[in-house]
Amino acid sequence: MPLRFECHIVEHCNLNCAGCSHFSCLAEPEFLALTHFTADLRRMRELLPDAEIARIGLLGGEPLLHPEFAQFVETAHSVFPGIPRYVITNGTLLTEEQLQLLAKYNTIIWLSEYPLTDNTKLKKQIQAHNIPLVLWPKHRMRKDVMDFKGQQDPEYQFSKCRFRLGAGSCQQLYKGQLFPCPKAAFARHLSTFFHLNLPQQQGLDIYSINSKAEIYEFLNKPLDFCRYCRQDIQWEVDFNLTEYKLAEWS
């Protein structure tokens, strides 16, 4: 099963959606260093052939908040020119210069469409630049339910997980570590904001392994952090901005 890995280049966001599955509405401003990103992509290039990488995403948070956004796009193209690359954005910060950049490097735009944004003009601009566009309606949001006491059976929750390899495949590559899902990678923002003292899950150190087999072995088994997830409970809620209440994740 080819990997679809994503890279948080910023942690925070300018829209702050309630119950964000990446916890971006709770994160302090934080920017990934280009050196980390470049080294990690090159390491993944060494570990995996093109046929085993479905696509690579740049996101956050809102990736356009990064002052070096252009260099990240250029680097992704340089390291993986033959792999589909995309940017997940709410589009509110997209400039003409950035549209030209994304067109130049043949980068797909995944546009999150929220009730409070009107992207009619933006979509025409994107089409005018012949940039591949994927629309992601966000009038309804999937609610991610968590068990803050960590009392769930990891094996059972993993079997139900929408992020597991083959089910949704949303691996996160962050500062030399690979995670099977955004919750395990970024729950530190939730824990810090609400003083929950959740354990920091360690991902797979991509610099300590020597084969793709080790990647698949890691991704095909539950993490200890799966104890804190309720993947057996899933429903959708209307889009809202966060009120910074823990109930948005429970």
Question: Comparing 17-21, 31-35, 74-78, which segment has the lowest mean pLDDT?
Answer: 17-21
pLDDT at 165 over 70: no
pLDDT confidence band for 139 (50 / 70 / 90): confident
Rounded to two decimals, what is the model's pTM? 0.94
Greater model confidence, 8 or 140: 8
The position carrying tokens 């080819």 is 2
Average pLDDT over residues 13-31: 95
* Res. 99: pLDDT tops 80: yes
Where is pLDDT greater, at 163 or 230?
A: 230
User: Band of the pLDDT at 3, cuts 50, 70, 90?
Assistant: confident
What single DSSP character describes residue 226?
G
Mean pLDDT value across the chain: 93
- Answer yes or no: is pLDDT of 166 > 80: no
Give the pLDDT confidence score for residue 142 in this predicted structure: 82
Q: Per the structure block, which two tokens stand in for 183?
A: 């919750």
- Report the CATH number that the domain containing residue 9 is assigned in CATH: 3.20.20.70
The mean per-residue pLDDT over the stretch 135-147 comes to 87
pLDDT value, residue 169:
64
| Region 89-113 average pLDDT | 97
Question: Could you tell me what percent of the chain has a pLDDT over 90?
Answer: 83
**C-alpha dist (Å) from residue 37 to 97, 131, 172, 235:** 22, 24, 12, 34
Domain count, the chain: 1
Does residue 227 contact residue 157 with C-beta atoms inside 8 Å? yes
Domain extent for 222: 3-249
